[in-house]
Amino acid sequence: MKIIKRNGSEEAFTRDKITHAIEKANVTVEEKYRMTDVQIHRIVDAVIMSCEELNRVPTVEEIQDFVEDQIMAHGAFEVAKNYITYRYTRSLVRKSNTTDDRILSLIECNNEEAKQENANKNPIVNSTQRDYIAGEVSRDLTDRILLPPDIVKAHEEGIIHFHDSDYYAQHMHNCDLVNLEDMLQNGTVITGTLIERPHSFSTACNIATQIIAQVASNQYGGQSISLSHLAPFVQVSREKIRRSILEELETIHAPISEEVLSRLTERRLREEIRRGIQTIQYQVVTLLTTNGQAPFVTVFMYLGEAKNEQEREDLALIIEETLEQRYQGVKNEKGVWVTPAFPKLIYVLEEDNIHENSKYWYLTKLAAKCTARRMVPDYISEKKMLELKVDRNGEGHCYPCMGCRSFLTPYVDENGKPKYYGRFNQGVVTINLVDVALSSGGNTERFWQIFDERLELCHRALMCRHNRLKGTLSDAAPILWQYGACARLQKGEPIDKLLYGGYSTISLGYAGLYECVKYMTGKSHTDPSATPFALEVMEYMNAACRKWKAEHNIDFSLYGTPLESTTYKFAKCLQHRFGIIPGVTDKSYITNSYHVHVTENINAFDKLSFEAQFQKLSPGGAISYVEVPDMQNNLDAVLEVMKFIYDNIIYAELNTKSDYCQVCGYNGEISIVEEHNKLIWKCPQCGNTDQNKMNVARRTCGYIGTQFWNQGRTQEIKERVLHL
């Protein structure tokens, strides 16, 4: 068995260390109060048993808590008092150098928590380490100076989660929809260089990747671009290629028919589209931004955004090439085609592509083929979005999420026109619903009282987020605020007007609805008798957001949080505060947002239908998924799921597996096995357990992760049941 030390590193569990610690406390009291060797031996046995019952690697703090409990249980109160006093004294000493210790452990690459914090960050490379080190300093400033102590304490105890506190010291926002159309059509500036309107599709793609990199380096969340903003440049290239061919033929006085000219033009145009899309795919995959990872970018594919029929046809060409290239994948260092994490792709299901006799059905079949092999694209239903995303003019709109799942709310500008691109999210604070339930002891009246208190805590934390952005000058991130990604403000102008009136959103996240309902009702929230309570909880949080919005003129919005490392943190905190409660705290993870528990047997269509009602109540963003086996030989089933998504739910994805073992060449599913009370990844063919010698891609929480996960998330992945 292993333990996690305070600096995040792992070491082998040593029984003798516990024994020595108890003995040291034991000799500090009078002999009449001391425990016998037999009692100390029993305490150590009980502590080890408690650690094993966690079914994960315990932390030093957890072990010491178990020791305290056992000393007290044996009636050695004087020994317990001295043991507690010693712990407290040592904690005061550690407070002065905790940040130093964590930074040193990052540099030495032995911080297990950092290694598994983000499934798309490699903690060994210098750029990631630099970001993590800066994050530790920022987090230290945030905890000691910038945030109120009660919010810091609630975050540490897992009562709430103050997202991305490592970026809070800087005036940075969360995620956005990049106004690529404005930047390409009207020009932009990148690191002091004027970038004018491109004169070809391939140049437009190259500029787009530079914009993506710049935006990623000036925020900490996801971003999205639309392929429709690149589509006008297909016609620009078409005309340019046509002129070039005519000029070539004129030099040799060769006549050409219109039919042949068009055929040659389209052939060369397709090649340029191929090169342009390849630029986007490979640039995004290979770029490392200042936060040490590839840009977290989503590419939106929506035929309905085209402004005319020619542009629609050209957009279809771009979408087709994008899907073809993603289906192929990218080569790893061994030259094997594997699944990349980014860019994330979203394909909109609409009337022109969802039926077999639809004009663009061929694109939908290609999307299904790509999903079965590479896990993307994900799917948005135009039908459901137009029904549910309605602005104050009474018009429905279909638009992308910002990154993996964060959605803007409908907005109409001062001219009465809908606006989505160029808008952003200010930040997220998540409430732990499981802790609300457990703190109530199952008493319904007490539950709502505690819920109110926790929501107000989240409200104050969100206002800290908002106020941190207030007063930020556009000069802080020119690409965002001055040169079109989010706005065209003047130099020296504050961004404040963008924080109010619904231009941007700010998100109340939530986690663990399943466990919350399970504890309060004794049943899963999928049980018809328990579902009303689950919906009531959702409505209650939405009511709080509406109240705060009216109070501040800020667009608070309820958000289905994509817990990654936090799912493990919350689980550990709950076990620490409330112990192991079967069906509630007996896992090393809690459930994302409203999702059906990963172990629950339910078919894909029932799951999507059930979760649709919770997506409707998560206007700030949410995504549902179905877990499927290898579907490459059953594309008809994939298409049936896609049709169901179109008719029933805003946003969903299919999760499959896409792995490769570099040792033996196995390209099936890499297994998760338990060894020494720890979950590890293991090739079922050759037994390879070296993560550096395998490529594993799994959907983490709306996006694909490729750098492995902490123990909580790994257990959640291991326990997922198939829905198809």
Of 375, 348, 373, 385, the residue nearest 363 (C-alpha): 348
Contact 710, 111 (CB under 8 A): no
Torsion of CA 415, 418, 419, 425, to 10 degrees: 110
Strands (E), 302-357: 330-331, 337-338, 344-349
The one catalytic residue among 564, 611, 627, 653: 564
The one catalytic residue among 179, 406, 432, 618: 406
Backbone φ, ψ for residue 592 (5° rounding) = -60, 130
Of 305, 310, 312, 347, the residue nearest 326 (C-alpha): 347
Query: What span, in angstroms and rounded, lies between the C-alpha atoms of 274 and 492?
Result: 41
Query: What span, in angstroms and rounded, lies between the C-alpha atoms of 511 and 513?
Result: 6
Tokens of 564: 């990654």
What is the SS3 assignment for 358? coil
Tokens of 57: 């690697």
Q: Tell me which amino acid residue 339 is.
A: T
Left (φ > 0), alpha (ψ -120 to 50) or beta: where does 648 sit? alpha
406 is catalytic: yes
The one catalytic residue among 228, 425, 504, 588: 425
Q: Tell me which amino acid residue 277 is.
A: I
Tokens of 219: 């925020």
Query: What span, in angstroms and rounded, lies between the C-alpha atoms of 678 and 151?
Result: 32
The one catalytic residue among 292, 509, 512, 702: 702
Query: What span, in angstroms and rounded, lies between the C-alpha atoms of 283 and 404?
Result: 19
Contact 209, 518 (CB under 8 A): no
175 is catalytic: yes
The one catalytic residue among 51, 172, 175, 631: 175
The one catalytic residue among 559, 568, 594, 651: 559
Of 380, 375, 363, 376, the residue nearest 319 (C-alpha): 363
520 is catalytic: no
* The residue to which tokens 């549902």 are assigned: 624
DSSP 8-state code for residue 683:
-
Q: Which residues is 11 bridged to in the sheet?
A: 3
559 is catalytic: yes
Contact 160, 458 (CB under 8 A): yes
Query: What span, in angstroms and rounded, lies between the C-alpha atoms of 76 and 84?
Result: 12
421 is catalytic: no
434, with CB counted inside 10 A (0-12, 13-18, 19+), is buried
The one catalytic residue among 402, 516, 538, 642: 402
HSE of 506, CA atoms in CB hemisphere, 13 A: 31
What is the SS3 assignment for 193? strand
266, 482, 705, 721 from 340: Cα distances, Å: 30, 32, 9, 24
**Alpha carbon of residue 242 to chain centroid:** 44
Query: What span, in angstroms and rounded, lies between the C-alpha atoms of 135 and 142?
Result: 10
Of 468, 384, 460, 374, the residue nearest 426 (C-alpha): 468
Quick one: three-class SS letters along 585-613?
Answer: CCCCCCCCCCCCCCCCCCCHHHHHHHHHH
Tokens of 288: 């490392």
Backbone φ, ψ for residue 694 (5° rounding) = -150, 150
- The residues assigned a catalytic role are 174-175, 402, 404, 406, 425, 559, 564, 702
